[in-house]
Structure 1
Amino acid sequence: MKIGIITFHKVNNYGAVLQAYALQKTIKSLGCDCDIIDYSRKNLRDIFLWQKNKVKCLLKGAPDRQGYSNLEFIRMVLTTIFFNKKAVAVKFNTFRNRYDLSRPVNSDTVKYINNEYDLFLSGSDQVWNCGRVILDKNYLLDFVEERKKKGSYAASFGIKEIPDKYLAEYKRLLTDFRYLSVRETAGADLINELIHREAKVVLDPTLLLRKEEWAELVDVKANNEDVIIVYMLEYSESLLRFARELSEKVNCPIRLLNKPLHRNVKEDCRVDVGPVEWLSEIQNGKYIVTNSFHGVAFSINFNRNFYVEIAEERIRGAMSSRIEHILHTFGLEDRLIRRKKYGNSKRNYIKFNYCSADIDYIKVNRKLEKLRDESVDYLSNMLYVKDGETMINSQEYKKKIG
């Protein structure tokens, strides 16, 4: 049995590359050959232009410059965005050498690999998100000719509702899937609304691997540090203010895993963190403060005390459902940072309400193990041999990986 995964494996994003690695590793552990389809999106140029426009907005936006002159700010942008990102890109490419890849394909040639795989899987990550650029139907397996070869694992829409202009396409393409699984209940609800089918909600692939398996990738053994790790997918002043308040309370220094373009950030910033180093930081931090889904997922897997902020109301529909879902799944809603504003000015006083107790990971790990078994069983049930029997169940899988 040979499986082809189509996902965002080329994006220099920690969650994206780690979930791709985890899904491929799990499928191979289940006894199948597996490639990640080395697909280059046709809209990469659109993404480049979006990044270029983002830089232009930064250069124009006085609030983002916080007192820098044009020359100072340009120098900071070049250093932080371009030079440091080049060093990080090398580390991402090195990590991607762990993948087994198909031959390179693009939007015109991906159809020619139809006969090279017995099953194609779309996922995980926000492969069905049409909100940021344009809908790429290949992530909905439009290039696959046979319905029996179409499946998804922990796919995510990343949007609250489908734009009207794409409704017909989503209905047509999702109807053609033989197996449908998603990462969040919001995705299952959306599928039910679109095509009146039940989709299985499964774990993000990063949670299919145990913390010991992730630790094997880290160069050094676990060395817990009394440090607060702050990982922001998008810069949040309130999240940093919370981390500073927590730092004073628990007497721990702060370490940021990226360098925001803001003058008031004086804490230790790691600007060249690759995927393996990122894993090590999350594994060893005493506290994790984040607004990232995968920041939460790895905190749970590594049994770290964490706090998470959900994005502002203007982007909640696109981003918050996945964080809310994982918190609810593990009964960790109290790790959400709640804030109350006082005053009317932009620099108003914010009071944070949060749980100061340590997380009861005995209870969480019991739940994680149960969901891991269910997700592995679901994945295994998609991987049929010719006589129609499943390859391996979760109990056999546990024995195999030790």
Structure 2
Amino acid sequence: MQELKRSTIPRVGILTYHFSDNYGACLQAYGLRQWLLKNGAEAEFINYVPRHVEAGGRLQSPFSKTGLKANLKVAFLWLSRLKQDVFGNADQRDMFKTFQEETLGVTGERLTTAEAVQGYLGGKGAHLDMLVCGSDQIWAASLQNGIDPVYYLSFPDGSPKARRISYAPSFGRAGLDPVHHNEVSGYLSAFEGLSAREKSGVKLVHDLTGREAAWVPDPTILLGDFSEFLEEHEAEVQGDHVFCYGLRTASGIREAAEAAGKFTGSPVLSPFNPHRRWREVGTTIYPSPAQWVTYLAKSKFVVTNSFHGTVFSILFRKPFITVELPGARSELNERSRSLLNALGLEERLVNGTDAAQVQEMLNRPIDWNEVSPRLEAMQKAGRMYLKNELLAVS
């Protein structure tokens, strides 16, 4: 990238799930900001923390079409947050807060509504030259809130001169409920630059707008280098374990992790998940986001049903299995499936309850020489997309 003069350094505001006590959310936020900083931009997170993402949001009328299911989701998230606040690991909560404030550089008061974000962009945030939404599942419709216009950069009264682009947002699934098509189409039409994390997302953008979106990788892949975390925590993290990172369910992942433990002769360690409703798999640990990276990097084997668990296994060239989410959650496999297919690793996505399939993957090594050029091509695409967008405002 050409050298940017001080007077033309792009000032970038990022809207994503930077606030979540979730390893993948924090690390993808870190990846995007860190890459921007290393490539001549000033980058900050717009501290939008909507209540519906983790605290549940507002209850709906029980007589509406989706009211009952939506209210159950609100209640679950609210109770999960209360349980975490009262009974959760206080040290781990503090580590997430420290990571968000010190490593991500999040400052300023929390903005909880679209109106508050617009007010910020019209005032303290008016200096921004570019607004970036992404990555993570920010374009997914939630059961209790539907589409969040803020994550589609829909605030016409705030930062009217700022260039608006997306970087690797995900719809979470291969499709979008048709009830949201017109709304999302309108939001997307206002973007100067469009990209998506999954090929299905690229197709959906085209179907809704007729525009071509760039296919770019998650910010963790974009950055690629997390060595500073290893240097910071390597001495305190012992290796030779199976790293089991499970979200949403223990179905399949428990069986696969236990099989991996027997295969390697190593203990199974599982990072704590505040939404866990199942008995622990192996031994529960409570790492910070940086320690989470280090535990994964120093493992013998990784078993996960998480997209970011899959990403970091690839970045650190760890033997791994990605366990399919079953039943109603199966649509969420699109994120990992898209990545694995692109890298020629589709066979690593397995049914965790299929003992023969799991054992086959435990015995089959990964040819990283085949994977590397594909991964590098993905990184190049993401980096070129962002470099061109930065040059457009410099």
Query: Shorter-chain TM-score: what band?
Result: 0.7 to 0.9
Q: How far apart, CA to CA, are the structure 1 residues paired with 2:165 and 2:293?
A: 29
Query: For residue 347 of structure 2, what is the amino acid of its counterpart?
Result: D
Q: CA offsets per residue over residues 39-93 of structure 1, 9 Å max, x none?
A: 12153553597677338999xxxxxxxxxxxxxxxxxx99878423443221111
Gaps of 5+ in 2: 1-9, 59-70
1:398 corresponds to which residue?
Answer: none
Gaps of 5+ in 1: 59-76, 342-349, 392-402
Q: Distance in 2 between matches of 1:149 and 1:190?
A: 22
**Which of 98, 108, 131 is the equivalent residue of 2:115?**
108
Aligned-pair distance for 1:375?
1.1
Q: Distance in 1 between matches of 2:370 and 2:356?
A: 30
From the superposition, tell whether residues 85 and 311 of structure 1 become closer, same or farther in structure 2 (CA, over 3 Å). Answer: same
Provide the rounded CA distance (Å) in 2 between the counterparts of 1:234 and 1:213: 29
1:143 is the counterpart of 2:155: yes
* 2:51 is equivalent to residue 54 of structure 1: no
Once residues 129 and 78 of structure 1 are traced to their aligned partners in structure 2, the CA distance between those partners, rounded to angstroms, is 24
The reply on whether 1:186 has 2:195 as its aligned counterpart is no
2:28 and 2:335 map into 1 onto residues whose CA distance is: 15
Q: CA, structure 1 residues 273+190, in 2 after alignment: closer, same or farther (shift >3 Å)?
A: same
- What's the offset of the Cα at 1:210? 3.0
The Cα shift of 1:249 comes to: 2.6
**Counterpart residue number, 2:253:** 239
Label 1:38 to 1:80 Cα distance change in 2 as closer, same or farther (>3 A): closer
Counterpart of 2:357 (choices 321, 342, 352) is 352
| Cα offset, 1:360, TM superposition | 1.7
**Deviation at 1:176?**
0.8
The answer (yes or no) to whether the contact 2:351–2:357 under 8 Å persists in 1 is yes
Q: Secondary structure at the match of 1:285?
A: coil
Render the CA deviation track for 1:161-188: whole Å, top value 9, x for unaligned.
3334322210100011110001000111
Give the letter for the 1:94 counterpart. Answer: T
Alpha-carbon distance in structure 2 between the residues aligned to 1:56 and 1:125: 22
- Name the structure 2 match of 1:375: 382
CA contact (8 A) 2:14 2:45 kept: yes
Look up the SS of the partner of 2:132 in the other structure: strand
Indicate conservation of the 8 Å contact 1:147/1:178, yes or no.
Answer: no
- Shift, 1:316, TM fit: 1.8
Alignment-derived partner of residue 90 in structure 1: 94
- C-alpha contact (below 8 Å) 2:230/2:294 kept by paired residues: no
Tell me the amino acid that sits aligned with residue 53 of structure 1. Answer: A
**Secondary structure of the residue that 2:240 maps to in structure 1?**
strand
Shift of 1:223: 6.9
Is the alpha carbon distance of 1:30 and 1:223 closer, same or farther for their aligned partners in structure 2, counting shifts above 3 Å?
A: same
User: Alpha-carbon deviations, 1:96-150, whole Å to 9, x = none?
Assistant: 1222346433422211315221110000111111134312101100014548611
**Matched AA of 2:348:** R
**Superposition pairs of residues 127-206 of structure 1, within 5 angstroms:** 127-134=138-145, 135-144=147-156, 146=160, 149-206=163-220
Q: Judging changes above 3 Å, is the alpha-carbon distance between structure 1 residues 116 and 217 closer, same or farther for their aligned structure 2 residues?
A: farther
Alignment correspondent of 1:210:
224
Distance (Å, rounded) in 2 between the aligned partners of 1:38 and 1:311:
31
Match of residue 335 from structure 2:
322
The verdict on how the C-alpha distance between 1:133 and 1:160 changes in structure 2, with shifts beyond 3 A counting, is farther
CA distance in 2, matches of 1:15, 1:154: 14
Deviation at residue 254 of structure 1 after TM alignment: 1.4
1:251 CA displacement:
1.9
What is the CA–CA distance in structure 2 between the aligned matches of 1:340 and 1:94, rounded to whole Å? Answer: 38
1:312 corresponds to which residue? 326
Question: Contact 1:23–1:206 at 8 Å: present in 2 too?
Answer: yes
Aligned residues of 2:244 and 2:303 also touching (Cα < 8 A): yes
8 Å CA contact 1:3–1:35 kept in 2: the answer is: yes
TM-superposition CA deviations, 1:226-275 (whole Å, max 9, x none): 21111101232322112212222332221222375445x573221x2221
| TM-score, with length taken from structure 2 | 0.82
CA distance in 2, matches of 1:15, 1:50: 25
Name the residue aligned to 2:370. Answer: 363
Aligned to 1:258: 272
Larger radius of gyration: 1
Indicate if the aligned counterparts of 1:338 and 1:352 stay in contact, CA closer than 8 A: yes
The counterpart of 1:4, out of the listed 10, 13, 19, is: 13
Residue 151 to residue 254, structure 1, CA distance change in 2 (3 Å): same
User: Which of the numbers 305, 327, 332 marks the counterpart of 2:345?
Assistant: 332
Q: State which of 301, 310, 319 in structure 2 corresponds to 1:296.
A: 310
Aligned to 1:28: 37
Greater mean alpha carbon deviation, residues 326-335 or residues 101-110: 101-110
TM-aligned CA distance change 1:174 to 1:22, over 3 Å: same
CA contact under 8 A between 1:225 and 1:284: conserved in structure 2?
yes
Mapped to 2, the partners of 1:360 and 1:144 lie a distance apart of 49
Task: State how far apart, in whole Å, the 2-side matches of 1:92 and 1:50 are.
Answer: 27
1:123 — aligned with what?
134
Residues 81, 240 of structure 1: alpha-carbon distance in 2 compared, 3 angstrom cutoff: farther
CA RMSD in angstroms, aligned pairs only: 2.9
**In 1, are the aligned partners of 2:215 and 2:381 still within 8 Å (CA)?**
no
- Partners of 2:208 and 2:176 lie apart in 1 by 9
Residues 212, 149 of structure 1: CA spacing in aligned structure 2 closer, same or farther, 3 A cutoff? closer
